[in-house]
Structure 1
Amino acid sequence: MQFTEFTIKKNDENRRIDRILKKNLPHIPLSGLYSNLRKGRIKLNGKKIKPSQTVKTGDKLKIATDLLPSQNLLAEKINPQPELKLEILLHDSDFLIINKPENKIVHGKNSLDNYIKNNFPAKIDSLSFKPGPLHRLDKNTTGILTFSQSLKGAQTFSRALHDNKLERYYIGIVIGKPCKTRWETINANNKKNITDVNPIYHFEKLNLTLTEFKLHTGRKHQIRIQCQKFGTPLHGDIKFGSRKTKENYLLHCYKLIFHTKILSLPKKITAPIPARFKHFLLKNNFNPKSTILEDLIDN
């Protein structure tokens, strides 16, 4: 039987062998991985191992060559995409933070995740860790989006999210005017959704309000769903309660504030408002002076 050997590196230290295999042999079901481990077709340092076995730097992982995908184990097959002019807010060895444009998905085919992996490859050698987005924005939501470039970066950022040490602020245009300053709901999975709501400016003729949202939880579509539930859907968000409009809704993640030290990240990151959002505000005579947007928009 022919084997291909891989050396365990620092970024794989103390990880379970079944998790490493699952990450790199996605075409094989978990039951198949366990079967191949029992049969000795996958070995660590020349010996049969259990799925729960953890690895150390320098260990030798041998995998029967016929189990491997046709491409290199450490490479990902990513289809090339047209060049994007991404606004980079921060880029170092641990993080890549961009100002996400609208009409771009974060995961999947032709996604920002794939584009980043192609054009900003992380300098990392690992069998188990794959750099990627650390939080999500919907396809037509713009603003701050963070990608990991190292295992340490992914772990520290995710821990800050989990421990509520990271504040996320959005602005959007809603129909009507929000009455409450805090929205609390329970989603379909019985999870609590909490959002602070701050109306900034009401466009009386349009009956629309520029509104700031601060997330305390980060559920899927949280702001959009709560806007609909409380009777002020995002203008143009036809999926969640808005009448049909010529253009998509406006929702922009404009600020992150960190309440714990996360490697080299500053305490605050802001993202300039995209052109379409800016055009709407200025066309309707919004004056950003003395508002939270004063430094993010030019007249």
Structure 2
Amino acid sequence: MNLQCAPFFRRLVWPFACPDDGIRCGIQSRNVEFRKFEAGPEDDGRRADRVIRRLLPDERLSSVYGALRKGFIRINDKRIKPETHVASGDVLSVADFLLAQKDAAPAESSGKNVLPYEIIFKNEHFLVINKPYDISVQQAGAGRLSLAETVAAYYRSAGKSGAASLSFTPGPLHRLDRKTTGILFFSWSLEGAQWFSRQMAAHGLEKKYLALVQGILSSAEEWEDFIEKEDDSRPSFHTVRIVQSGGKCAHTEAEPVSSGTYNGRPVTLVKFTISTGRMHQIRAQAAFRGFPLLGDTAYGGAAIHEKQDFFLHAYEVRIPGNTLGLPRALEAPLPVFFNNMLNKTLINPENSSII
């Protein structure tokens, strides 16, 4: 639902008895503030009650039905039934008091249409950010919001300036590990999500990473392995291993950029290009060939005492021609701590043409 949101007022004079269905009481013969939302293409043909449940996720279905009966939720200024089908361009009007509890939720309490991450690209189909270090994409620990939750809240608040639909929830379109930084795509429309999924299945997107590895990689190499999850009972963290057969195919190209030292240990800045997106693909394949990421103790790297446990950054995605407004390539600048680490290892990032 297109959140072209502008509050307006309508006088309600119907008798209103306090129900037991969860709708707040005490509203009778007084000015009630309404908010209106314009239905977008992705809402077209959906039942009104299902669209409304997206807007009022904490209300019971009986509460929604009660609000519909009493005229506190309308379409095109007319009372509707739950089974009414929404059409693109319809205007949904919702009494403000029904939205008060939702607006008070912590994820949206600021009321500001601001995302606390660097936005690399945004249009009606995609949001692309430069993911920070040590933030989970989909699942976060107690008391912490994941990127998916934060972006979903931003999408809902951005409705005041053009979010696509209440029937659509944005989400990450690919994975980045919690401690990996860089380019991360989120869907901003169903059409965008479907296009991206097709490109992933066809290996149409070329993803490039920079990583600091132990040892000296002297020439470009191409790696193709089978990967499977380790048998690990830990619920919060899993590693993968290289197997002879039976796993998922992982293809990676490794190209040395520059070399240096860290505490007397030789290190190489490597550009990795992947066409598959397996869990821990770069970390596992690099370690298997004797070049674990510096600091990546889960895969045999030596422990370090820096601002990041290891340094792996998704710096570029190359994109095929499309009609959804995406450029042919997107790049994410290196984080400050990654640049600082390169200086410590005597690898000057300014001397590299790819950073």
Normalized against structure 1, the TM-score is what? 0.70
2:195 is paired with a residue of what secondary structure? helix
**8 A contact 1:95–1:146 mirrored in 2:** yes
**What residue is the counterpart of 2:9 in the other structure?**
none
1:188 is paired with a residue of what secondary structure? strand
**8 A contact 1:157–1:262 mirrored in 2:** no
Structure 1 CA distance, aligned partners of 2:314 and 2:148?
18
2:284 is paired with a residue of what secondary structure? helix
**8 A contact 1:97–1:146 mirrored in 2:** yes
1:194 Cα deviation after fit: 0.7
1:193 aligns with 2:233: no
Structure 2 CA distance, aligned partners of 1:194 and 1:93?
32
**What residue is the counterpart of 1:112 in the other structure?**
147
**Alpha-carbon deviations, 1:198-225, whole Å to 9, x = none?**
0111215431110010011101111111
**8 A contact 2:220–2:256 mirrored in 1:** no
Structure 2 CA distance, aligned partners of 1:81 and 1:192?
44
| Equivalent position to 2:314, from 248, 253, 270 | 253
Aligned amino acid, residue 118 of structure 1: A
| Equivalent position to 1:93, from 124, 132, 143 | 124
1:274 aligns with 2:274: no
Backbone CA RMSD of aligned residues: 4.0
Structure 1 CA distance, aligned partners of 2:352 and 2:123?
31
Aligned amino acid, residue 258 of structure 2: Y
1:78 Cα deviation after fit: 6.8
Taking a change above 3 Å as real, the CA distance of residues 102 and 79 of structure 1, as seen in their structure-2 partners, is same
**8 A contact 2:339–2:349 mirrored in 1:** no
The farther-off stretch of 98-107 and 260-269 is 260-269
Aligned amino acid, residue 142 of structure 1: T
Structure 1 CA distance, aligned partners of 2:117 and 2:259?
31
**What residue is the counterpart of 1:63 in the other structure?**
none
**Alpha-carbon deviations, 1:256-285, whole Å to 9, x = none?**
101231511100101111101101112333
Structure 1 CA distance, aligned partners of 2:220 and 2:329?
27
Aligned amino acid, residue 92 of structure 1: N
1:187 is paired with a residue of what secondary structure? strand
- % identical aligned pairs: 35
Structure 2 CA distance, aligned partners of 1:253 and 1:292?
16
**What residue is the counterpart of 1:203 in the other structure?**
260
Structure 1 CA distance, aligned partners of 2:196 and 2:182?
17
1:240 Cα deviation after fit: 1.5
Structure 1 CA distance, aligned partners of 2:116 and 2:83?
44
Structure 1 CA distance, aligned partners of 2:179 and 2:212?
13
Structure 2 CA distance, aligned partners of 1:292 and 1:218?
25
2:186 is paired with a residue of what secondary structure? strand
**Alpha-carbon deviations, 1:119-150, whole Å to 9, x = none?**
34465565763211111111110000111111
1:143 aligns with 2:149: no
**Number of residue equivalences:** 258
* Unpaired runs of at least 5, structure 1: 3-7, 27-42, 46-54, 59-69
Structure 1 CA distance, aligned partners of 2:83 and 2:278?
40
Aligned amino acid, residue 113 of structure 1: A
**8 A contact 1:186–1:193 mirrored in 2:** yes
**What residue is the counterpart of 2:35 in the other structure?**
none
2:265 is paired with a residue of what secondary structure? coil
| Equivalent position to 2:346, from 251, 264, 285 | 285
Deviation above 3 Å: which 4+ runs of structure 1?
A: 12-15, 55-58, 77-85, 120-129, 287-292
2:337 is paired with a residue of what secondary structure? helix
**8 A contact 2:125–2:187 mirrored in 1:** yes
Structure 2 CA distance, aligned partners of 1:81 and 1:106?
21
Structure 1 CA distance, aligned partners of 2:107 and 2:250?
36
1:286 is paired with a residue of what secondary structure? coil
1:156 Cα deviation after fit: 1.2
| Equivalent position to 1:170, from 179, 204, 209 | 209
**What residue is the counterpart of 2:66 in the other structure?**
none
2:259 is paired with a residue of what secondary structure? strand
Taking a change above 3 Å as real, the CA distance of residues 56 and 250 of structure 1, as seen in their structure-2 partners, is same
Larger Rg: 2
Structure 2 CA distance, aligned partners of 1:277 and 1:246?
13
| Equivalent position to 1:161, from 184, 200, 219 | 200
**What residue is the counterpart of 1:50 in the other structure?**
none
Structure 1 CA distance, aligned partners of 2:254 and 2:293?
13
* Unpaired runs of at least 5, structure 2: 1-20, 22-38, 58-81, 89-97, 230-246
What does 1:27-106 align with in structure 2 at a 5 Å threshold? 79=107, 85-106=116-137
